[in-house]
């Protein structure tokens, strides 16, 4: 049990539970059903993010704007690396 995490019960069909258990066993190395759900959700969210980038890339102007903005934030985030450590 995860410390600090509340638990709940959900109702799903036996067939769905068995499919999830099989996935947890075969694809996720015997993970718990909760861990299998976590991984499935993470994979789903990653696919959604990648799809959003593909939609952004499809619009050349928006993609160029995104790339320019990301360069600015990358440069700002790297400013600490360029500071003189002796200062």
Q: What is the pLDDT of residues 68-79, one digit of tens each?
A: 998 888 776 666
pLDDT confidence of 21, banded at 50, 70, 90?
A: very high
> Residue 19 pLDDT > 80, yes or no?
yes
Q: CA 53, CA 70: separation in Å to the nearest integer? A: 13
> Residue 44 pLDDT > 90, yes or no?
yes
Query: Which residues, 6+ apart, have CB-to-CB distance to 58 below 8 Å?
Result: none
Model's pTM, two decimal places?
A: 0.69
Query: Which residues, 6+ apart, have CB-to-CB distance to 36 below 8 Å?
Result: 20, 23, 24, 27, 28
* pLDDT (0 to 100) of residue 2: 58
Q: CA 78, CA 11: separation in Å to the nearest integer? A: 48
Mean pLDDT for the stretch of residues 83-87: 58
């Amino acid at each position: 049990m995860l410390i600090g995490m509340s638990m709940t019960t959900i109702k799903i069909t036996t067939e769905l539970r068995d499919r999830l258990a099989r996935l947890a066993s075969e694809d996720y190395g015997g993970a718990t059903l909760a861990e299998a759900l976590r991984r499935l959700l993470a994979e789903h969210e990653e696919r959604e993010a990648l799809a959003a980038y593909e939609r952004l890339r499809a619009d050349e102007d928006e993609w160029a704007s995104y790339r320019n903005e990301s360069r600015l934030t990358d440069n700002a985030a790297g400013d600490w690396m360029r500071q003189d450590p002796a200062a």
